[in-house]
Chains A and B, each alone.
Chain A
Amino acid sequence: MLDLEGLTPREALGRALADLGDLRKDVVVLVADTGETTRARFFAERYPERFFNVGIAEQALVGIAAGLALAGFMPYALTFAAFMARAWEQARNSVDRMNLPVRLVGTHAGFADAYDGSSHQMLEDIAIFRVLPNFTVLVPADSCEVYRAVTASAAVKGPVYVRVGRDFHIPTTCGMYDRFEVGRAYVAVEGGDVAIFTTGITLPFAVEAAQLLKDRGISAAVVHFPTVKPLDYAAVEKYASATGAVLTVEEHMVHGGFGSAVAEHLSQTKPAKMAIMGLKSYGRTAKNPQELYQYYGLTPENIAARAEELVRLR
């Protein structure tokens, strides 16, 4: 049995791809000089003939993946999320318009690449892939969920974007649910005063915030959305109605991302008091992502404070 908790998110990605390669002969993997750093190497070692390195060329990466999809394969194209963005127009014109089963995996997303600074810290990818009509957008929280999301992505008909970090994660989802379903939200903590919606790596921060709130007599629900698109509208509405106060938390810009997706839906269905937590500008070089979460205020303490504020405003 694979010890997923013991793997880093990118190792979970590489293992998931290698295991998918066992199950499906149509899976091919492409990288842009990122075979080692994305851990696509795990797939390459098992299936060298189905692995292609196109060099530091993201536009070709996505375009060639589209061609392989037209030839009947299911391509997974991996590179840093920050540089996958360079091929957004290829994702739009060569992939999304034809609704091809191309899977783009953006690694080192958010603050995961703390060392390399803001050029490498992708905080806009949820927004730019969410806006494409046919793309499914998956934002797993930890290595367990990376493995499950990548595995589940193989069953999606159209294109998929998967957002993956690097080495930092706080294992949270392994025992949280049995089966990963694309488009489904998972309740991490039940509560009735305020709903904290999370996606990606911020889930454990919200779980800790709920504990802090509990100590202050506030019952906070934490609902985790590893699929940002299609969003689990039923879960959004249910917890917005039950609490009347929704706080979203993401390691992404506050504009256009997960919080925006929730706000777009709630404003047209069940308006609730809402706050969107995330980033408003670029990151910086740091020794590890945790320093950046502290520096930019993505912490359990701040999440609890914002939630408490919302409860008072409700």
Chain B
Amino acid sequence: MERSRPELNGLICKARRYIVLMAGYDPGMHLGSSLSVVEIAAALYGTGRVKFNVANGTRDRNYFVLSKGHAVHAIYALAAAMGYLSIDELRETGSLGSRLQNHPEVDTPFVDVPNSGSLGQGISIAVGLALGLRLRGEPGRVYLVTGDGELDEGQSWESFAVAAHYGLNNLVTIVDLNGVQLDGHSEEVLRKGDLAARFRSLGFEVFEVDGHDVGQIIEALEKAERSAKPPVIIAKTVRGRGVPPIEDTAKQRLSRDDALKYAGNIC
């Protein structure tokens, strides 16, 4: 389904508001990390590249791997904004009986790889999926979203090297470059070097965009999908985007009152 940019921006705004509201109920969720990835998720789900209502075993489709699984609340929120989850269920996130766990689990809806809590592992799985789709002769793509802190893991680069070596241009990688990880600013925790150059040197085609501009992300996706090499979109984002006191910090929590206040300011 084609959505206009204003429609997409409406979804993004709604999803961001839901994320902030969830934080008021669930102190265990990763608020800042979820807020940086909203436009990226909307560029994928909102354009129909990946879908919320995919029956198990469906072939000839695209896959979505959220390797930064701690940001899964962005996906829950977007699902609710698009009508696939109720607000009541969102409120239950992080509860023992809820299927909306704080990292994707086997019973978590809407994620193709239900165990991406351990960083770097979703990247390997996405590479395996892309290899598998190609081997089956399927036209589908794998859309992989990683964090930048996650790129500290050796497994990440092991896997990207395999993607490049096997020329997996059916794997579309998007790096949510929010510049912050658990202990603070990513460059201070551990130098990342020139990310674009690292990917290029392996054999990737690199696209750099403003990760809060859904139009830029979609344009980059369209180019990435035509790339002969494995493409990577490096999306510069702000952790905690939309909640000023936590923006560009490692903070992840809000009181319920603050959550209501900041959610009200979003849209």
Contacts and interface: CB of A to CB of B under 8 A. Distances in A.
Contacts of B135: 28, 49-50, 71, 73
Q: Which secondary structure characterizes the binding site on chain B?
A: helix
A67 B120 contact: no
B74 interface: no
Contact of A72 (B112, B113, B118, B132): B132
B125 A64 contact: yes
B167 interface: no
Contact of A63 (B112, B117, B128, B166): B128
B161 interface: yes
B112 A64 contact: no
Which of under 10, 10 to 19, 20 to 34, or 35 or more describes the interface residues of B? Answer: 20 to 34
Interface stretch (B14-22, B151-159, B172-180, B243-251): B151-159
B124 A52 contact: no
B114 A67 contact: no
A303 B154 CA distance: 44
A52 B129 contact: no
B127 interface: yes
Interface residues of A, number: 29
Given A66-B124, A94-B121, A60 B158 contact: yes
B115 A67 contact: no
Nearest to A97: B115
B158 A98 contact: no
B260 interface: no
Contacts of B189: none
A60 B124 contact: yes
B108 to A, nearest CB: 11
B59 to A, nearest CB: 8
B106 interface: yes
Interface of A: 28, 49-50, 52, 54-55, 57, 59-60, 62-73, 75, 89-90, 93-94, 97-99
Interface of B: 106, 112-115, 117-118, 120-121, 123-133, 135-136, 154-155, 158-159, 161-162, 165-166
Which 9 residue pairs of A and B lie closest in terms of their CB atoms, listed nearest first? A67-B128, A63-B124, A71-B132, A57-B158, A60-B158, A64-B128, A59-B155, A67-B125, A67-B129
23 contacts: A28-B132, A49-B135, A52-B131, A54-B158, A55-B158, A57-B159, A60-B124, A60-B159, A62-B124, A63-B127, A63-B128, A63-B159, A64-B162, A66-B124, A67-B113, A67-B124, A67-B127, A70-B113, A71-B128, A75-B128, A93-B115, A94-B118, A98-B106
